[in-house]
Amino acid sequence: MKAAKWQQDAQYCALVNDLLQTPEVQRLANYTQHHHSDRLAHSIAVSYDSYRIAKRLHLDYISTARAGLLHDLFYYDWRETKFDLGTHAFIHPRVALRNAEKLTDLNPCEQDIILKHMFGSTLAAPKYWEGLIVSTVDKYEAQREFFIPWRRKLHARRIRRLS
């Protein structure tokens, strides 16, 4: 089986490997995220793509990679679980931050990335460019993951037409 692009990036793996080895992060694979992906795959995609952008822009790619991986560190189905204190967009970053703080020490940039990754759905703007990157990549990945089946169907139709 071909390794994913992120698995071939030794520097990225060295930055997040300690987190990826924890049962808390591995447990994310048990939760569906955007209908056609699990929360661990989504978190890795957000983390890796954000890391690459931050690195290219000479920003704090270490905090970006680590916080990107932990941005959705919560253990419930957001389609079913409802909160009296606010919407999922408002609540889950706080839950993820609390869970991440139990797992590892976080610097202020990492805390802000996790807490404000729902910018756009919430009014809390990131304090750091790295947070804006994770927030934007998170939305991109959510759409990409949601539309995977339709992209496959369209691709299959194109191939049939060309045959």
- The larger pLDDT score, comparing residue 109 to residue 36, is at 109
Q: Are 158 and 62 in contact (CB under 8 A)?
A: no
Q: What is the CATH number of the domain that holds 25?
A: 1.10.3210
User: Over 70: is that where the pLDDT of 153 sits?
Assistant: no
For the entire predicted model, the pTM comes to: 0.86
Number of structural domains in the chain = 1
Does residue 109 surpass a pLDDT of 90?
yes
Domain that holds residue 153: 5-162
Q: What is the pLDDT of residues 8-39, one digit of tens each?
A: 999 999 999 999 999 999 999 999 776 678 99
Question: pLDDT tens digits, residue range 133-152?
Answer: 999 999 999 888 888 776 66
C-alpha–C-alpha distance, residues 21 and 125, integer Å: 31
For residue 1, name the pLDDT band (cuts at 50, 70, 90). Answer: very low
CA distance 73 to 27: 9
